[in-house]
Amino acid sequence: MRHAKVGFMLSRALNNQTKNIWIGGTDLLVENEWNWVKPLKPIEYTRWAPGEPNHQWRGQSEDCLSINADTHFRWNDQACENEIKI
């Protein structure tokens, strides 16, 4: 069940955001305060892509941490999928 959900989230992320992969970090709780989701704890080491985190895109708040090949797997904040709950 849990694996099915993770697989579903990953496939959605891959389909919707092309190459982006959610890596399990978010600032949904407090803007610009990044935490790992499981277990919930502050992110101490960061590896942002240049210009990131930019916090929003086309008026949509970006609160989930993703990586993609275009930024050499450096981090980007992007809009969360609705399924992602803490």
Binding to Ca ion (CB under 5 A) within 4-33 occurs at 27
| Residue 55: CB minimum distance to Ca ion, A | 5
Under rule CB under 5 A, residue 63 binds Ca ion: yes
CA angle 23, 29, 32 (to 5 degrees): 70
| Residue 69: CB minimum distance to Ca ion, A | 15
Question: Is 34 in contact with 27 (CB distance < 8 Å)?
Answer: yes
Bridge partners for 64 per DSSP: 26, 78
Contact residues: Ca ion, CB under 5 A? 27, 54-55, 62-63, 76-77
